[in-house]
Amino acid sequence: MTEAPTIFITGATDGLGRALAYRLAADGVNLILHGRDVGRLEVTADDIATAHGVGRPRIVRADLAELAQVRKLARDVQNATHRLDVFVSNAGIGGGMPDGRDRRTSADEYELRFAVNYLAGFLLTLKLLPLLRRSAPARIVNVASIGQHPIDFGDIMITHGYRGTRAYGQSKLAQIMSGFELADRVPAAEVTVNSLHPATYMPTKIVLEEIGQPIDSIDTGVNATRRLVSDPALDGVTGRFFDRTREARAQAQAYHADARAELWRRSLELVGHHDIA
């Protein structure tokens, strides 16, 4: 009997992450769910187990605004499972409320949106990559955005001209760029790496507080993300960016090899990790 796949989702107690977890639980997968709040994690895991009559998802807690907690999170995931078929890097903060429009910094003194939306996922990916490779064929899915802003490598932490939307767009482009770079470095037969804009202004906490009016439904985002997680038609497809379910072009900087290499080098320095073999 084939073992059910194991899928790890960050930011799984709210919005797209929570809805995706519910949908994947119905598919019979083994889930590992991340969140910042243990109470909300417990409720989410209990609700999923009750709703689908399945085994209770495993839960792991971390604040992604602190790299030490990200490292511990990776260890907790490794201790929770002997295999990892899919890593969905979904956790993040928006360009405005409820996380503020002004410039804030992480526990490591990095610009907050770059730290949470990008560096945390980058480090977590590197830490989990050996487990993913041993579980081949595996997938990494980066929940990014169509809202992208080119990276100023002379001021990567945006100490001048700060806007929350610019910081958010830079962090999302960084996700996509590092995904492209990783896809070039890891054989697709082992791990595929793809990014997507799941939907536009879904009715999530971030959108409702900052924008007020949704455009797309949560189901639109869930369907698009689930496709990258499990659609057999995407076996071996790597290094792509999708707008919902359609392959699309990211911001132009993502296709500059020198810019991707520079981001990769700087990111390794910022998170204190060696390059992958």
Q: What would the pLDDT profile of 100-124 be if each residue is shown by its tens digit?
A: 679 999 999 999 999 999 999 999 9
DSSP 8-state symbol, 275: P
pLDDT of residue 96: 67
CA torsion through residues 163, 101, 214, 52, sign: positive
pLDDT per 10-residue tile (average), the chain, 277 residues: 90 95 96 97 96 90 98 98 98 76 94 98 98 98 97 98 96 98 98 94 60 72 97 98 97 98 98 94
Active site residue 168: yes
Residues sharing a CB contact under 8 Å with residue 137, sequence separation 6 or more, in sequence order? 189, 190, 191, 192, 235, 236
Q: Of the listed 110, 162, 168, 201, which one is catalytic?
A: 168
Instruction: Give the relative orientation of helices 120-134 and 257-271 as an angle to the nearest 10 degrees.
Output: 90
pTM of the model: 0.94
Tens digits of residue pLDDT in 150-193: 999 999 999 999 999 999 999 999 999 999 999 999 999 999 99
Can you tell me the distance from the alpha carbon of 200 to that of 145, in angstroms, rounded to the nearest whole number?
A: 8
Residue 4's SS3 state is coil
